[in-house]
């Protein structure tokens, strides 16, 4: 659960990146954050993982109060989230397997568990058999799938993606978005910052438009991926989404199963 109340972020140079933002994102939501360049979208994501701290207001993320969080607790906040970046951020000198395993190793997971889980997520993102490849031997779309696998591997509650399709061609972008939708269908909250209007229209779900640091629009688009929840009141900023209103995929897909293991 993510909850922001009257949050403002002023950077040290005086830029007011977010102005008095209030919103809640329930567990299991599929959210697009849209808005022009410089609107404050990345800043919003940075606040969620405590990469930046809010100047004013209240922020609660996955059970952590970020205005009071202790330094040594921040890693545990971050373990509840998987992050996907526009530029993939893979380690060049590691192969696909190690890039994904890395995220588990550095939080102290035993090697045996790592082996099993990495194989699982690589299959999930369709990279089975490419474990030994280096990032530079993969296409942009494949690299982003490695990065997605890495974000997923520690079973986060929330996936946040900052323009995940910004560096890949449209066809592959669709593939990535489809995976994110599938991940969401397994119960993981997904928050995606994007510029790509077509994808937003196609995948739907909750759309939050940030304009010059303020929430300009907060609406739902119902699509085959994300049907409009029945109980929703779109005029309300703080949306009431019970667990049963999250969209369960009609077909029990692979992602839905992996979550329950």
Partner 1 sequence: MKLSSTGYLIKEGFKNVWNNRMMSLASVAVLISCLIITGAASLISLNVSSLIAAVGDDNELTVYLKYELSDTDSVKIGPQLKKIDNIEQCRYYSKEEAIKQYKDTLGNVYESMQGDGNPFGNAYKIRLTDLSKYKSTVKQIKQIDGVDSVSDRSEIAGKLTKLNYFVTLVGFWVVLVLGIVTLFIISNTIKITMYSRRFEISIMKSVGATNAFVRVPFVIEAMLIGLLAGLTASGILIALYNPVKDAASGIVNLIANSTIPVEQLWLPILVSMSVIGMIIGILGGLISITKYLRKEGGEILGW
Task: Answer yes or no: are the C-beta atoms of 218 and 237 closer than 8 Å.
Answer: yes
Of 51 and 227, nearer to ligand ADP (C-beta) is 51
CA-wise closest residue to 82 among 128, 147, 33: 147
Q: Please choose, out of 42-50, 69-77, 98-106, 123-131, the segment that lies near Mg ion by the rule CB under 5 A.
A: 42-50
Show the beta-strand stretches assigned E in 35-95: 56-61, 64-65, 81-84
Check residue 55 for interaction with partner 1 (CB under 8 A): no
Task: Answer yes or no: are the C-beta atoms of 143 and 176 closer than 8 Å.
Answer: no
Of 210 and 241, nearer to Mg ion (C-beta) is 210
Show the beta-strand stretches assigned E in the chain: 2-10, 16-25, 30-34, 56-61, 64-65, 81-84, 158-162, 189-193, 205-211, 214-221
Answer with the entry of partner 1, Mg ion, ligand ADP, none that 37 interacts with (C-beta below 5 to 8 A by kind): ligand ADP
Check residue 108 for interaction with partner 1 (CB under 8 A): yes
Q: For residues 45 and 40, give the distance between their C-alpha atoms in angstroms, rounded to a whole number.
A: 9
Of 101 and 241, nearer to partner 1 (C-beta) is 101
CA-wise closest residue to 161 among 58, 25, 30: 30
Q: Please choose, out of 41-49, 135-143, 175-183, 234-242, the segment that lies near ligand ADP by the rule CB under 6 A.
A: 41-49
CA-wise closest residue to 17 among 219, 237, 210, 216: 210
The two tokens of residue 142 are: 């494949």
User: Is beta strand 205-211 parallel, antiparallel or unpaired with respect to 214-221?
Assistant: antiparallel
Check residue 163 for interaction with partner 1 (CB under 8 A): no
**Minimum CB distance to partner 1, residue 22 (Å):** 22
Q: Please choose, out of 41-49, 74-82, 110-118, 252-260, the segment that lies near Mg ion by the rule CB under 5 A.
A: 41-49
The two tokens of residue 136 are: 């530079």
Check residue 31 for interaction with ligand ADP (CB under 6 A): no
**Minimum CB distance to partner 1, residue 188 (Å):** 16
Which string of x and - marks every residue 224-253 that binds Mg ion (by CB under 5 A)?
Answer: ------------------------------
Q: Please choose, out of 38-46, 82-90, 94-102, 153-161, the segment that lies near ligand ADP by the rule CB under 6 A.
A: 38-46
Residues in the chain: 261
Instruction: Report the SS3 class of residue 15.
Output: coil
Of 26 and 42, nearer to Mg ion (C-beta) is 42
Q: Please choose, out of 3-11, 56-64, 84-92, 121-129, the segment that lies near partner 1 by the rule CB under 8 A.
A: 84-92
Answer with the entry of ligand ADP, Mg ion, partner 1, none that 169 interacts with (C-beta below 5 to 8 A by kind): none
To 5 degrees, how large is the angle CA 39–CA 43–CA 49?
Answer: 155
Check residue 150 for interaction with partner 1 (CB under 8 A): yes
Check residue 236 for interaction with ligand ADP (CB under 6 A): no
**Minimum CB distance to Mg ion, residue 162 (Å):** 6
Query: Which residues lie near Mg ion (CB under 5 A)?
Result: 42
């Amino acid at each position: 659960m993510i909850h922001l109340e009257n949050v403002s972020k002023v950077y040290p140079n005086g830029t007011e990146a977010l102005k008095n933002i209030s919103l809640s994102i329930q567990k299991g939501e599929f959210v697009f954050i849209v808005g022009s360049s410089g609107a404050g979208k990345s800043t919003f994501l940075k606040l969620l993982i405590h990469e930046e701290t809010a100047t004013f207001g209240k922020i609660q993320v996955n059970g952590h109060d970020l205005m009071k969080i202790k330094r040594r607790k921040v890693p545990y906040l971050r373990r509840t989230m998987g992050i996907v970046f526009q530029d993939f951020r893979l380690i060049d000198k590691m192969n696909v397997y190690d890039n994904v395993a890395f995220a588990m190793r550095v939080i102290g997971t035993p090697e045996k568990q790592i082996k099993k889980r990495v194989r699982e997520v690589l299959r999930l993102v369709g990279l089975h058999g490419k474990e030994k490849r280096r990032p530079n031997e993969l296409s942009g779309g494949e690299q982003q799938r490695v990065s997605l696998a890495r974000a997923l591997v520690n079973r986060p509650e929330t996936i946040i993606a900052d323009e995940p399709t910004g560096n890949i061609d449209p066809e592959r972008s669709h593939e990535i978005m489809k995976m994110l939708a599938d991940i969401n269908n397994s119960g993981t909250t997904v928050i995606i910052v994007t510029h790509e209007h077509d994808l937003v229209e196609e995948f739907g779900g909750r759309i939050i438009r940030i304009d010059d640091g303020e929430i300009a629009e907060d609406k739902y688009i119902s699509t085959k991926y994300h049907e409009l929840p029945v109980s929703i009141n779109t005029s309300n900023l703080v949306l009431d989404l019970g667990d049963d209103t999250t969209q369960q995929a009609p077909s029990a897909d692979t992602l839905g199963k992996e979550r329950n293991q």
